[in-house]
Amino acid sequence: MRTLYFTLAFTLTVALSAQAQSSVTIRERIRFKDTVEVYKYTPEINGFNTLQLKMHPGDHEILNLSDLKKLAGFTITGIDLVYSDYPKGEDFSELNRKRILELFMQFPEAFESNMVNWRLFKQTGVSETGGIQNYFHGLTVYYRPMPSYQDENQMINDIVDGKVAPQDSTILKVLDRKKDWKNMLVVCDVTGSMSPYTAQLLFWIKSNQAIKSFKQIVFFNDDDEKSNDQKRQLDTSGIWSIETGNSKKVIDQAFVAMEKGGHYENNLEAVFYAIKKFPENKMNVVMIADNWESPCDMALLDYLKREKIPVRIIVCGVTDRLNTVYLDIAHATGGSVHTIESDLEEVAKIGEGKVIRFGKLKFMMNNGKFVQVK
Note the pLDDT tens digit of each residue in 350-365: 999 999 999 999 999 9
Residues in the chain: 374
- Lowest pLDDT segment from 7-16, 33-42, 173-182: 7-16
Task: Write down the pTM of the prediction.
Answer: 0.83
- Lowest pLDDT segment from 81-90, 91-100, 204-213, 335-344: 204-213
pLDDT at 26: 33
Task: Compute the distance between CA of residue 161 and CA of residue 108 in angstroms, rounded to an integer.
Answer: 42
Angle at 148 between CA 143 and CA 154, to 5 degrees: 120
Task: Compute the distance between CA of residue 12 and CA of residue 24 in angstroms, rounded to an integer.
Answer: 8
Is pLDDT at 246 greater than 50 in this prediction? Answer: yes
Is pLDDT at 6 greater than 80 in this prediction? Answer: no
Task: Compute the distance between CA of residue 184 and CA of residue 217 in angstroms, rounded to an integer.
Answer: 9
Q: Are 72 and 110 in contact (CB under 8 A)?
A: no
CA–CA distances in Å: residue 207 to residues 120, 172, 278: 45, 11, 24
Q: Where are the domains of the chain?
A: 5-143, 149-373
User: Domain 5-143 is of which CATH architecture?
Assistant: 2-Layer Sandwich (3.30)
Is 355 exposed, middle or buried (CB count within 10 Å of its CB: 0-12, 13-18, 19+)? exposed
pLDDT: is 193 or 218 the higher one? 218
Instruction: Produce one character per residue of 230-259: b if its CB has 16 or more CB atoms within 10 Å, e if not.
Output: beeeebeebbbbbeeeebeebbebbbebbe
CA-wise closest residue to 116 among 292, 271, 245:
292
Percentage of residues in the chain with pLDDT exceeding 70?
Answer: 89
pLDDT at 16: 35
Tell me the H-state helices in the chain.
93-106, 126-129, 149-160, 170-177, 195-207, 247-260, 267-277, 301-307, 325-333
Instruction: Produce one character per residue of 126-158: b if its CB has 16 or more CB atoms within 10 Å, e if not.
Output: beeeeebeebbbbbbbbbbebbeeeebbebbee
- Lowest pLDDT segment from 145-154, 188-197, 225-234: 225-234
Span 61-92, pLDDT tens digits: 999 999 999 998 888 999 999 999 999 999 99
pLDDT at 1: 32
CA-wise closest residue to 323 among 83, 157, 114:
114
